[in-house]
């Protein structure tokens, strides 16, 4: 499955929202309540992504194949004041059928390039502790465990784990 990774445009908001909703429904099945996942709205996320894409401080990229947009990643300045990290990989999601084709690595590389454009030289990412495939992905990229903290999603209290790269040169692609 050949893909092009490119900067997202405002016209991509609906496609990103579709990937957002459907990847959450498959990725978090069994981790979040079914009724919460069913309540996710592409229209809601389309508007949210339209606003995000209009903010020049965000870096958002899409992976596009002959099937259309199959994944996205976003990043920018670290948002929570985490010591030692100025950049953050905010999100990376892929449709289930597009996973395992290298799109994720290309998306992370695009975000890293975007962080470098912003003058950010390191990066942190947060992932649900129970999301073992994502944790393995970050570990293979050379991410080092930083810490964990509680997070509430819908009505669920979960734990998220952070991985960090003290230098973007430490990523293993």
**The pTM is what?**
0.95
46-79 b/e with 16+ CB inside 10 Å = b? beebbebbeeeebbbbbbbbeeebbbbbbbbbbe
79: domain range? 4-170
CATH number at residue 75: 3.40.630.30
| Predicted confidence (pLDDT) per residue in 24-66, tens digit | 999 999 999 999 999 999 999 999 999 999 999 999 999 999 9
Average pLDDT of the residues of the chain: 96
Domain count along the chain: 1
């Amino acid at each position: 499955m050949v893909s092009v990774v490119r900067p997202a445009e405002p016209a991509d908001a609906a496609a990103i929202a579709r990937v957002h909703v459907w990847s959450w429904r498959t990725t978090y099945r069994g981790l979040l309540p079914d009724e919460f996942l069913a309540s996710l709205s592409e229209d809601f996320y389309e508007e949210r992504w339209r606003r995000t894409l209009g903010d020049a401080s965000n870096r958002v990229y899409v992976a596009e194949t002959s099937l259309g947009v199959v994944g996205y990643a976003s990043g920018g300045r670290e948002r929570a004041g985490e010591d030692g990290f100025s950049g953050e990989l905010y999100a990376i999601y892929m449709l289930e059928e597009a996973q395992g084709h290298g799109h994720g690595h290309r998306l992370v590389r695009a975000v890293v390039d975007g962080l470098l454009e912003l003058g950010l030289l390191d990066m942190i990412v947060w992932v649900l502790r129970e999301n073992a495939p994502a944790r393995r992905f970050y570990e293979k990229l050379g991410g080092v465990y930083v810490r964990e903290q509680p997070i509430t999603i819908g009505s669920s209290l979960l734990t998220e784990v952070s991985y960090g790269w003290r230098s973007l040169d430490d990523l293993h692609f």
